[in-house]
A and B are shown apart, each in its own frame.
Chain A
Amino acid sequence: MTASTIDLPVGADDRRIARYAAAAIALTIAEAAIPSPLPGVKPGLANIVVLIVLLRHGWREAVWVSLLRVVAGSLMIGQLFAPGFFLSLAGTCASLAVLAVSARLPRAWFGPVSQSIFAAFAHIAGQLLLARLWLVPHNGLFYLVPVFAASALAFGVVNGLVAAKFLNGDNPPP
C-alpha cells in the first residue's frame, strides 16, 4: 500500500472538539424529534454543550463545536441547505458573536446562566433578522417576538443551569 502523501496530524484538541461536537449533534437530533408549537421555539439543548466548551476551553473551540453541530446536525436530519439550516446558522453566528463579548465578563459574577441567556437571545435575534430579510419580508413576523423572547429566556435559564451543573465540579469556587 502506498503511504498517504497527505498527513493530517490529529491533536488532543481536535479529538476533544470532535467529541463535544458529537454530543451536540446527538442533542440536535434528539431535539428534532420534540414537537414544537412554533418553528423557532426549541429548547436548544445543543447549546448546553457549546456553553460547556466555551467555559472550559474558550471561545475558539466553542465556535468549532457549534459550527460543526449546525452543519453535521442538519446533514443528519436532512435539513442541510434548507431554510432551517440557514436560520440555524444565522442564530448560531449571532450567539457566537455575543458570546465572544460576554465570555469576557467576570466569571465570579456572570456564570453559565448569564452566557446562556445572552446566547439564547442572540440566537433568536439572528434567526428573526435573517427570516425578516429573506424568508418573510414582512413586519408581521415581529408579532411573534414576545413568544420567541419568552421562550429564549426560559430555555436560556434552564440550559444555563444544566451547563452550570456540569461545570460545577470543574473548578470549585475559592
Chain B
Amino acid sequence: MKQWLPLLRPGDWLVAVAGLVVVAVSFPLLWRGGPAEKAIVKRDGTVVAELPLNIVKRIDVEGALGISVIEVRPGRARVLADPGPHQYCVKQGWLTQANAVAICAPNHVTLALVGANRSYDSLNY
C-alpha cells in the first residue's frame, strides 16, 4: 500500500474525490422508482385485479396451471403461492418499489407495482 501512495499526485486525490461524489450522487437513481401505490395483477396481459397497497388483502388468480395467490400488505405485495415449477416469482418475496415486477411465467400471471406517476410499462415495452 505504502509504495503506491507516492504515485498519487495532489490533483489525483481531487479527481478521485470528485469521482466518489459522482458515484454518491448517482446512487439515488437506483431507487428512483419511488414508493409504490398499487399492485396490478394480470393474466395473459389482461388486468384481473388492481389492489391498493393500503388495504391488506389476499386474492387467488386462476392461471394456466392453477391458482396463484397474491398477498397485499401495507406498502408491499408478493406472490404467496404459485403452481409453477421453479417458483421464481414466489422466491422474489415482497415487492416494495414502484415498477417492480414478479412474473410467474408458467402460470401466465404477473404482479406489478406502480407508483403515483406511472412512468412506463416494463412488461410490454
* A, B co-complexed: yes
Q: A111-B9, A146-B29 known; A117 and B120 CB under 8 Å?
A: no
Place the interface of chain B in its size category: 20 to 34
Contact B7 A165, beta carbon cutoff 8 Å: yes
Selected interface stretch from A19-27, A30-38, A156-164: A156-164
Residue A140 is within 8 A (CB to CB) of chain B in the complex: yes
Measured CA separation A118–B122 after assembly (Å) = 33
Selected interface stretch from B14-22, B52-60, B65-73: B14-22
Contact B4 A114, beta carbon cutoff 8 Å: no
Measured CA separation A165–B8 after assembly (Å) = 10
User: Which residues on the B side are within 8 Å of A145 (C-beta)?
Assistant: 26, 29
Measured CA separation A113–B8 after assembly (Å) = 7
User: Which residues on the B side are within 8 Å of A15 (C-beta)?
Assistant: none
Measured CA separation A143–B8 after assembly (Å) = 32
What secondary structure prevails in chain A residues at the interface with B?
helix
Contact A114 B23, beta carbon cutoff 8 Å: no
Contact B30 A146, beta carbon cutoff 8 Å: yes
Total cross-chain contacts (CB, 8 A)? 75
User: Which residues on the A side are within 8 Å of B8 (C-beta)?
Assistant: 111, 113, 161, 164
Residue from B9, B20, B99, B119 within 8 A of A153 (CB atoms): B20
Residue B85 is within 8 A (CB to CB) of chain A in the complex: no
Report the nearest B residue to A167, measured CB to CB: B7
Q: A138-B120, A153-B23 known; A114 and B30 CB under 8 Å?
A: no
Q: A146-B29, A146-B30, A161-B4 known; A110 and B11 CB under 8 Å?
A: yes
Tally of A interface residues using CB under 8 Å: 30
CB distance from A147 to the nearest CB of B (A): 8
Residue positions of B touching A, CB distance < 8 A: 4, 7-12, 14-16, 19-20, 22-23, 26-27, 29-30, 32, 99, 119-120, 122, 125
Which 9 pairs of residues, A with B, have the shortest CB-CB distance?
A: A109-B11, A110-B11, A164-B7, A113-B12, A111-B9, A114-B15, A153-B19, A146-B26, A149-B23
Residue positions of A touching B, CB distance < 8 A: 105-106, 108-114, 117-118, 121, 138-140, 142-143, 145-146, 149-150, 152-153, 156-157, 160-161, 164-165, 168
5 A-B contacts (beta carbon < 8 Å): A110-B15, A117-B15, A117-B16, A146-B30, A161-B4
